[in-house]
């Protein structure tokens, strides 16, 4: 049974809320941490956001998100790198445990998946020096293969682990059950990730799934064996915060945020 | 450039047609082969279907499909095995090159993915003796990870190759670009499959993809580098039929079948 003291609210779960609303709600519900998306941090301003969060005694499991390293030309990739440095600064300003990276898919009009993967490696490599100098760990998040074309071409934990081997210190992984629950040899890859695990994200895979992006399930409503998954994460040595991140355009996003959070807490304590 | 003499029509591409309509259309369009689904073969009757197909001089790249080996109890799995033997008989009756296997996902109410994968291995193992005795190769088709829960828990070509290693003679793979185009080490796994390649299926991955099952693209309309994929298949030694299989509820299924086939032929010759 997961303890509420490890719960972190990924703010996409209550998508309509501002950072201020998220912080107030965390305090109201006794949720000790959050992982905000950059858009709401930027609306508040990163420094003010950091102050607001720390004054309310909240921890920050991550900042969502950097990445999107792929681009059809050098200029676009440079823009992405610049923006990622800004994201590192924002992550520092809010005291995040890591900057989560969603690495990007195929560049426009490209069918060169291997080339995109090389761009990702080079992009992360280019960002790492800066991130290291800021002491901000980068949490590479492998995304489900159904996002290979348009969001992220790192699609297995094995690929992410391989990249960590190659790029070294300062790069770790953010493991979201939604993306990797199907992966062969998952237990071994989680063990291999070990101390590199910077984030652990939970939700559930619904059957049927009606939308590739916005139909994630609440823990317990789908088919992922979350307790077994959590036991593997624990065995790998991770005892940090556990984020709940649910994109749900037709269900949870239409409910009052406080009702959603009550269910999040109950399911977190019983299903994770 | 793929030669039309290698084109095979998977009948799901013109979903509303009967087997008779598909056969007539293949003859009319100079398409030399087809892969029918079991429902339309059964409507005609397997023996009559085989006669119709051979009398029209068509080849049969496969029968779609056997599989669905997973089940919540022994009785359900036995039913599946019995039905698979019937599918082998039907494949023989129509002179198919192989019986394509979509192996099944999680049993009802189960979250035990590893258990489902064991059921699949045992199910194929249980069918193999019969299939061998009938000289009917089984074409294991790995399905995209987004189908792991509800359709097939063999989700990479690597897994399929591993199963072939384990189960031996009589089992090969059916490789559909839609399912594996994203797979890391794809070229190596295709090479490893080698002589085990029993089928090669093409279509395209659309961006955006609006439905997990029924929004496949026509070759050239998506992001898969089909020519490179085909070159890997060729290097692995496969020079057999190439199937076009497009599930498309909102686009191609709404057009007149003959119009669809004209596009299929043109795209096959220019994009595969």
User: Does ipTM surpass 0.95 in this model?
Assistant: yes
Tell me the pLDDT tens digit for each residue of B12-57: 999 999 999 999 999 999 999 999 999 999 999 999 999 999 999 9
Average pLDDT for A172-188: 98
- Quote the mean pLDDT of chain B: 98
Residue A61 region by backbone torsions, left for phi larger than 0, else alpha for psi between -120 and 50, else beta = alpha
Give CB contacts under 8 A, 24+ apart, made by B236-240. B236/B190, B236/B191, B236/B193, B236/B194, B236/B197, B237/B194, B237/B195, B237/B197, B238/B197, B238/B200, B239/B6, B240/B6, B240/B61, B240/B97, B240/B197, B240/B198, B240/B199, B240/B200
Per-residue pLDDT at B128 exceeds 90: yes
Answer whether B156 touches A (CB < 8 Å): yes
The pLDDT assigned to A2 comes to 84
| Residue A161 sits at the chain B interface (C-beta within 8 Å) | no
Phi, psi of A195 (to 5 degrees): -65, -10
DSSP structure string for A142-211? ---GGGTTTTBS--SHHHHHHHHHHH-TTEEEEEEHHHHTT-TTHHHHHHHHGGGEEEEEE-B--SS---
Token readout for B94 is 């129509």
**Element housing B100 (H / E):** strand B99-102
pLDDT at B187: 98
- Domains and their CATH numbers in chain A: 4-271 (3.20.20.150)
**Residue B70, pLDDT score:** 98
Q: A124-150: buried (b, 16+ CB within 10 Å) or exposed (e) per residue?
A: bebbbebbbeeebbbbbbbbbbbbbbb
Q: What residues in A contact B155, CB-CB < 8 Å? A: 182, 184
What pLDDT does B96 receive?
98
**Average of per-residue pLDDT across A35-47:** 98
> Quick one: how far is CA A7 from the chain centroid?
14
Query: Looking at residue A25, what is its pLDDT?
Result: 98
Q: Are strands B242-244 and A7-10 parallel, antiparallel or unpaired?
A: unpaired
pLDDT at B155: 98
Work out the pLDDT band at B2, boundaries 50, 70, 90: confident
**Does the beta-carbon distance from B225 to A112 stay under 8 Å?**
yes
- What pairs with residue A10 in β-bridges? A35
Tell me: pLDDT of B1 over 80.
no
Q: Which of A145, A152, A227 to mutate to test the interface with B (most CBs of B within 10 A)?
A: A145
Contacts of B176 in chain A (CB under 8 A): none
Measure CB to CB from residue B212 to each of A148, A212, A225 and give the nearest one: A212
| Residue found by looking up tokens 């190439």 in the block | B242
Q: Which residues of A touch B110 (CB under 8 A)?
A: 223
Report the chain B residue with the minimal C-alpha distance to residue A110: B223
CA nearest neighbour of A157 among A179, A137, A127, A138: A179
pLDDT digits (tens, 9 = 90+) for B176-197: 999 999 999 999 999 999 999 9
* Three-state DSSP state, A220: coil
Cα gap B184→B7, rounded to integer Å: 27
Collect all residues with Cβ–Cβ distance below 8 Å to B199 and sequence separation of at least 6. Answer: B35, B61, B62, B97, B98, B100, B139, B141, B173, B174, B175, B240, B241, B243
B139, B127 in Cβ contact below 8 A? no
Instruction: Answer for the pair A136, A91: CB distance below 8 angstroms, yes or no.
Output: yes
pLDDT of residue A4: 97
B106, B224, B225, B226, best to mutate vs chain A, most A CBs in 10 Å: B225
Task: Locate the chain A residue with the closest alpha carbon to B220.
Answer: A111
A112–B contact, CB cutoff 8 A: yes
Please list every residue in chain A whose beta carbon sits closer than 8 Å to the beta carbon of residue B181. Answer: 113, 148
Q: What is the pLDDT of residue A179?
A: 98
Cβ <8 Å between A225 and B112: yes
What six digits make up the tokens of B237?
């030694």
Q: Compute the mean pLDDT over every residue in chain A, rounded to the nearest whole number.
A: 98
Beta strands in chain A (DSSP E): 7-10, 33-35, 59-60, 63-67, 99-102, 138-140, 171-176, 197-202, 242-244
pLDDT at residue A1 greater than cutoff 80: no
CA angle B164, B166, B171 (to 5 degrees): 30
To the nearest whole angstrom, how far is the Cα of A213 from the nearest Cα of chain B?
10
- A206 to chain B: nearest residue by CA? B149
Q: Which neighbouring-strand residues pair with A202?
A: A244
What confidence tens digit (pLDDT) does each residue in A124-148 have?
999 999 999 999 999 999 999 999 9
All residues of chain A having their beta carbon less than 8 Å from the beta carbon of residue B189 are none
Count of A–B CB contacts within 8 Å? 72
Q: Is A225 on the interface with B (CB under 8 A)?
A: yes
Q: Do A155 and B184 touch (CB under 8 A)?
A: yes
d(CA A259, CA B236): 56
Residues in A touching B153 (Cβ below 8 Å): 182
The enclosing H or E element of B7 equals strand B7-10
B2 touches chain A (CB under 8 A): no
Residue contact A212–B208, C-beta within 8 A? yes
Mean pLDDT of the region A99-107: 98
Cα distance from B154 to chain A (closest Cα, Å)? 9
A151-164 CB burial, b ≥16 within 10 A, e <16: bbbbbbbbbbbbbb
**Range A197-208 average pLDDT:** 98
Angle between helices A113-133 and A157-167 (to 10 degrees): 50
Percent of chain B with pLDDT over 70: 100
pLDDT tops 80 at residue A165: yes
* DSSP category for residue B203: -
Sign of CA dihedral B75, B76, B81, B86: positive
Whether B225 and chain A come into contact, CB under 8 Å, resolves to yes
């Amino acid at each position: 049974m997961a303890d509420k003291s490890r719960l972190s609210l990924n703010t996409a779960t209550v998508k309509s809320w501002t950072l201020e609303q998220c912080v107030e709600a965390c305090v109201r519900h006794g949720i000790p941490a959050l992982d905000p998306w950059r858009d709401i941090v930027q609306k508040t301003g990163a420094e003010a956001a950091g102050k607001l969060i720390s004054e309310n005694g909240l921890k920050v499991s991550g900042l969502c998100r950097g990445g999107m390293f792929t681009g059809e030309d050098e200029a676009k990739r440079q823009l992405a790198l610049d923006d990622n440095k800004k994201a590192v600064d924002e992550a520092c300003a809010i005291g995040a445990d890591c900057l989560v990276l969603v690495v990007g898919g195929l560049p426009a009009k490209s069918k060169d998946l291997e080339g995109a993967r090389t761009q990702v490696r080079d992009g992360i490599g280019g960002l790492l020096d800066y991130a290291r100098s800021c002491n901000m760990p980068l949490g590479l998040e492998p995304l489900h293969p159904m996002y290979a074309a348009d969001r992220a071409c790192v699609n297995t934990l094995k690929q992410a682990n391989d990249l960590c081997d190659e790029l070294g210190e300062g790069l770790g992984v953010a493991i979201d059950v939604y993306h990797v629950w199907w992966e062969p040899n998952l237990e071994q890859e989680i063990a291999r990730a070990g101390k590199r695990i910077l984030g652990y994200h939970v939700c559930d895979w619904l059957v049927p799934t009606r939308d590739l992006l916005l139909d994630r399930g609440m823990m317990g409503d789908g088919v992922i064996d979350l307790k077994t998954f959590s036991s593997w994460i624990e065995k790998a040595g991770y005892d940090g915060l556990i984020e709940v991140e649910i994109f749900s355009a037709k269900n949870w996003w239409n409910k009052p945020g406080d009702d959603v959070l009550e269910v999040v807490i109950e399911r977190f304590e019983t299903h994770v």
